[in-house]
Structure 1
Amino acid sequence: MTTHVQRRFLIVLVAIAATFVGRDLARAQNSDAGDLSIELVDPKVLRVCADPRNMPFSNEKGEGFENKLAELFAAKLNKRLDYTFFPQATGFVRVTLGSHRCDVIMGFPQGDELVQGTNPYYRTAYALLAKPGSGLEDVTTLEDERLKGKHIGIVAGTPPATNMALAGLMANAKPYPLMIDTRVDSSAEAMINDLTSGTIDAGVLWGPMAGFYAKKATPALHVTPLIKEATGPKLVYRIGMGVRAADQNWKRQLNRLIQENQADINQILLDFGIPLLDESDHPIVATATKPQ
């Protein structure tokens, strides 16, 4: 065997050995102890991707329900909690999760292909908001005749805008922008202010926002999840967490945490006024029994 061939042969052997060592190391680090060093930049830290000003989901002060869920998970994992903050608008996933600056987005709709989703940890719907005494408190669908001619707030480009158009409600609707910099603006807060001041008669918001702001209003606003729409897209969604496509072990660990802590998760969500729905569209008003 010539010296040149021998050198190439040794290089191949070293490469093969490195492959096996790396494989064994990966097995060791992904053991039952839950060490995910291969997938996570720092396995001792729960690194969360979050919006710095997007209540009720998250903010820099840690006041949102996704902040509270992150605190719960960090405690269960015995990890330090750290955030990468970026406005949840165009480029959010690319700049945060996609750039390995953090390892989990605490809330992401099931089926969105930008991330790999965990199992869902809550189910909710877009909701109709109305003031008490408005005569709209028991309206359960956008096709209700009592909404005809009313000024209804809607975030432009969201699914219920289609339902409103099909119901003939867009002529008098007041649109609010979907894509905003949450550090300086909030379409949800603007809609709530218009509703309480009488500028609009009702509003349609994503369930977590609807429940949170309705609870804060004086007097409290009435929230009706829109689960009975006969036309247009369904307005009920399952929400899980988002991780990178390659992070299979991390996803499985998060799935276990969701399953084992569902009662505590529900309680956090209910404390924020979020209208939770079970798989039969019945409201969840109390935490489920914790698994034994």
Structure 2
Amino acid sequence: MRPSRPGIDKECRGLRRARACAGILALAATLTGLAGPSRGAEAEPFRLCADPTNLPFSSDDPSQPGLYVEIGQALAQALGQPITYDWYKSYFGKRTVRVTLLGKQCDAMIGLPLSDDFMGPAVIFSRKLGTEGYALVANTNQVIGGIGDLKGKRVAVQFATTPQNLLAERDDIEKVTVLSPDEGMKALDQGKVDVAFIWGPVAGWLNKTTYGGRYRIQTTEGEGLSWDTAVGFAKTSKDLRDRVNAALPQLERTIAELSVKYGLPGDRAIRFTGASAVTRQASDEPAAEKNDGPAQSLHGTVGTGPGVVKVANAAPPEAKADSATARPETVSSGKEIFNGTCAHCHGPDAVQSERRIDLRLLNHRYGDDMRTKFWTTVQEGRPAKGMPAWKDVYTDDQFESIYAFLLTVQSQSND
């Protein structure tokens, strides 16, 4: 018969019956255990946001899951939880984070830029996970110590990235624009360029898996060239963040081994400061950098494209700002949004060497129509050119702040 605890407690009031009671209590616990754990005791899954086709970072192929997925699996095991995945393309950068992580479809996203400027305070971060950035890829007999060593060379640079802007004014360097790290590596392998200045993690992965490790990869750091990464959480998940932080030190060796497995560069980094460069040990702490480039479209994936188009019935609201009257906080907010979402194609702070997508020339091109052109483009997008519509992502006030920022950077050039 199943014992009744009230009866047991009553009997246990007598000290002489203590030993007998202890035996009865143990039997009760055994009988309860035989019934199995309750449904409420089952561990909740660790839900990971990940891109299904973004190696070396993530893949929905179990035979080759990617660096971030394997780190997620190790974290789930350390937390004592099963793991599940929310697969979503990271093409749209912050929009991906809003839909998945902030939309409560998952609990964590690995590899976000470790910066309060990246969607803070809505997104909070774990301790530092690693450092990622652009890299110079060349034959093993070439050692590059800075921009000066690129003089006279043909250099593949990714379209609309910090490396392209960095080399834009160097007439002594022949720039060859490519759309992806893959294209840059192919140009190098085919002898069309001498050096590729491309996204480092993907370059390392391709060098390991496609090119047999025959190229030297030298990572770089500097403004817009490198940044620390971490695990991101919604601001309501501080407890999970703290438990992940407690688990990460135990996984340092595992993460290091996985980084080697997926070809991430681990060399001495070249620091670019204007036209000069210095080197540092890869283990040193890098200076805080602005987070632009591929990190904003998440993990080096190709981002959205440029373009303006006039769309009927998309008239902008009455103007709230111009370059002279816009409130400083409005301009600052617009700059933050711009650098978080638009800089991947249009350059950090709207500095862009490609004239056709240089937003500093909007007023020069469109004059009194500038506002209408801006408004219709950001609202409706230009899908044929790869630019999405942002009307479901940002509010009118946020568009106004972006416009206010762009007004402050318009060029007076008539070239």
Same fold (TM over 0.5): yes
Trace 1:254-269 onto structure 2 (pairs within 5 A): 254-269=244-259
Larger-Rg structure: 2
Trace 1:52-131 onto structure 2 (pairs within 5 A): 52-62=52-62, 63=64, 64-90=66-92, 91-111=95-115, 112-114=117-119, 115-131=123-139
Q: Return closer, same or farther for 1:175/1:68 CA change in 2, 3 Å cut-off.
A: same
Other-structure match for 1:132: 140
Q: Return closer, same or farther for 1:225/1:219 CA change in 2, 3 Å cut-off.
A: closer
- CA-to-partner distance for each residue in 1:194-232, whole Å, 9 max, x for gaps? 2212233221223322222222214521101124x6xxx
Other structure's SS at 1:172 match: strand
Q: Return closer, same or farther for 1:278/1:195 CA change in 2, 3 Å cut-off.
A: closer
Other-structure match for 2:198: 205
8 Å CA contact retained: 2:155, 2:174:
no
In the TM superposition, residue 165 of structure 1 has moved relative to its aligned partner by: 2.4
Task: Give the Cα separation in 2 of the matches to 1:68 and 1:60.
Answer: 11
Task: Give the Cα separation in 2 of the matches to 1:282 and 1:86.
Answer: 35
Q: Identity over the aligned pairs, expressed in percent?
A: 23
Other-structure match for 1:183: none
Task: Give the Cα separation in 2 of the matches to 1:73 and 1:212.
Answer: 23
In the TM superposition, residue 131 of structure 1 has moved relative to its aligned partner by: 2.5
8 Å CA contact retained: 1:45, 1:82:
yes
8 Å CA contact retained: 1:207, 1:225:
yes
Task: Give the Cα separation in 2 of the matches to 1:123 and 1:65.
Answer: 13
Higher relative contact order (CA 8 A, sep 6+): 1
Task: Give the Cα separation in 1 of the matches to 2:80 and 2:71.
Answer: 14
Q: After the TM superposition, which segments of 4 or more aligned residues of structure 1 sit over 3 Å from their partners?
A: 166-171, 276-281
In the TM superposition, residue 109 of structure 1 has moved relative to its aligned partner by: 1.1
In the TM superposition, residue 173 of structure 1 has moved relative to its aligned partner by: 2.5
Task: Give the Cα separation in 1 of the matches to 2:257 and 2:151.
Answer: 37
Aligned to 1:164, which of 150, 160, 167?
A: 167
Other-structure match for 2:399: none
Task: Give the Cα separation in 2 of the matches to 1:219 and 1:113.
Answer: 34
Aligned partner letter, 2:246? R
8 Å CA contact retained: 1:124, 1:277:
no
Other structure's SS at 2:168 match: helix
After superposition, the CA RMSD in angstroms is: 2.7
8 Å CA contact retained: 2:268, 2:280:
yes
Other-structure match for 1:45: 45
Aligned to 2:187, which of 194, 206, 209?
A: 194
Aligned partner letter, 1:208? P
Task: Give the Cα separation in 2 of the matches to 1:248 and 1:277.
Answer: 34
8 Å CA contact retained: 1:98, 1:244:
yes
In the TM superposition, residue 102 of structure 1 has moved relative to its aligned partner by: 0.8
Other structure's SS at 1:97 match: coil
Q: Return closer, same or farther for 1:274/1:102 CA change in 2, 3 Å cut-off.
A: same
In the TM superposition, residue 99 of structure 1 has moved relative to its aligned partner by: 1.1
Q: Return closer, same or farther for 1:108/1:169 CA change in 2, 3 Å cut-off.
A: farther
Other-structure match for 1:181: none
Other structure's SS at 1:237 match: strand
Aligned partner letter, 2:215? L
8 Å CA contact retained: 1:125, 1:206:
yes
8 Å CA contact retained: 1:119, 1:255:
yes
Indicate the structure with greater helix content.
Answer: 2
8 Å CA contact retained: 2:233, 2:241:
yes
Other structure's SS at 2:175 match: coil
Q: Return closer, same or farther for 1:189/1:169 CA change in 2, 3 Å cut-off.
A: farther
Other structure's SS at 1:126 match: strand
Aligned length: 225
In the TM superposition, residue 274 of structure 1 has moved relative to its aligned partner by: 1.4
